[in-house]
């Protein structure tokens, strides 16, 4: 139960941990030097962004694929890599609703072991306007961030997942994890539309590794 309590703590908004503050940027994740895959082919290894799949990138050059990073702090925890640096983000209200709901519902047992700059990617627009989190008594210090309009996201497979028998694990170690070939519905919490979710949208196989089945 200790791990479950820890996971619950990690994925609440920073403002909810300390006070009844106005909403702060959403707690989510980020990525590193890894291979991004589209249509089953490796297209880049060390990158800040690449063109996204489908017609979106052709019609809107602002839509790109960014490495995603999760840093656990008392403030903003969601970042994308821009010009080699981690930049704090909050998801824009006009983000794709299915992609955003699914991302927020992704189990911490999947998210935490893979949120180390190598496995999770966000597709969308990194908006240039700088914003600042609100200030209130007991909240984290105000921080600058930019909004991210999410179009899609994906995790590269195979993935690591926290073992079901690791409820008492305070710290995640390799022996606490197992390898899973692909995502399935059990990797997502409840949200509206979950029963119709096609999880293949949110995963990509890496060349030389197990393909989603």
Query: Cα–Cα distance between 88 and 30 in angstroms, integer?
Result: 10
pLDDT of residue 28: 30
Residue 75 resides in a domain: yes
Q: What is the mean pLDDT of residues 110-130?
A: 90
CA distances from 206 to 3, 9, 59, 121, 158 (A): 29, 32, 27, 13, 8
pLDDT at 79 over 60: yes
Picking from 109-113, 199-203, 209-213, which range would have the lowest pLDDT averaged per residue?
209-213
In sequence order, which residues have a C-beta less than 8 Å from that of residue 2 and are 6 or more positions away? Answer: 167, 168, 169, 170
Which residues are registered as beta bridge partners of 157? 205
Residue 211 resides in a domain: no
Residue 112 near residue 172 (C-beta atoms within 8 A):
yes
In sequence order, which residues have a C-beta less than 8 Å from that of residue 113 and are 6 or more positions away? Answer: 159, 160, 161, 162, 172, 177
Residue 168 resides in a domain: yes
Q: Residue 73 belongs to what domain range?
A: 2-205
Structure tokens at 30: 């980020």
pLDDT at 12 over 60: no
In sequence order, which residues have a C-beta less than 8 Å from that of residue 147 and are 6 or more positions away? Answer: 89, 90, 91, 92, 127, 129, 131
pLDDT of residue 2: 44
Residue 172 resides in a domain: yes
Which residue is associated with the tokens 């895959």?
37
pLDDT at 9 over 80: no
Residue 109 resides in a domain: yes
pLDDT of residue 118: 82
Work out how many domains the chain is built from and give that number: 1
Query: Cα–Cα distance between 175 and 182 in angstroms, integer?
Result: 20
pLDDT at 5 over 90: no
Query: Cα–Cα distance between 156 and 198 in angstroms, integer?
Result: 16
Residue 37 resides in a domain: yes
Residue 136 resides in a domain: yes
Picking from 22-31, 90-99, 125-134, which range would have the lowest pLDDT averaged per residue?
22-31
Picking from 49-63, 100-114, 157-171, which range would have the lowest pLDDT averaged per residue?
49-63
pLDDT of residue 153: 96
| Confidence at 35, pLDDT banded by 50, 70, 90 | very low
Residue 37, helix vs strand vs coil: strand
pLDDT of residue 59: 63
> Which of the two residues, 174 and 74, has the higher pLDDT score?
174
pLDDT at 26 over 70: no
Q: What is the mean pLDDT of residues 29-37?
A: 32
pLDDT of residue 170: 66
Residue 212 resides in a domain: no
Which residue is associated with the tokens 């300390």?
18
Q: What is the mean pLDDT of residues 71-78?
A: 79
pLDDT at 44 over 90: no
pLDDT of residue 201: 96
CA distances from 213 to 98, 184, 199 (A): 22, 10, 11
């Amino acid at each position: 139960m200790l791990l479950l309590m820890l996971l619950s703590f990690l994925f609440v908004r920073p403002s909810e941990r300390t006070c009844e503050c106005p909403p702060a940027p959403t707690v989510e994740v980020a990525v590193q030097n890894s291979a991004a895959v589209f249509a089953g082919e490796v297209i880049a290894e060390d990158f800040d962004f690449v063109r996204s799949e489908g017609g979106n990138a052709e019609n809107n050059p602002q839509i790109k694929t960014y490495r995603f990073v999760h840093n656990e702090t008392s403030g903003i925890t969601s970042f994308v890599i821009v010009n080699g640096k981690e930049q704090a983000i909050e998801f824009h209200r006009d983000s794709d609703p299915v992609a955003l709901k699914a991302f927020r519902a992704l189990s911490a047992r999947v998210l935490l072991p893979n949120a180390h700059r190598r496995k999770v990617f966000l597709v969308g627009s990194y908006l240039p306007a700088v914003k600042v989190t609100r200030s209130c008594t007991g909240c984290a210090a105000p921080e600058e961030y930019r909004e991210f309009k999410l179009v899609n996201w994906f995790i590269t497979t195979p993935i690591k997942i926290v073992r079901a028998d690791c409820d008492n694990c305070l710290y995640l170690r390799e022996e606490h994890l197992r390898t899973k070939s692909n995502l399935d519905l059990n990797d997502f919490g409840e949200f509206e539309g979950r029963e119709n979710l096609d999880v293949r949208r949110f995963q990509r196989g890496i060349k030389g590794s197990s393909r989603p089945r």
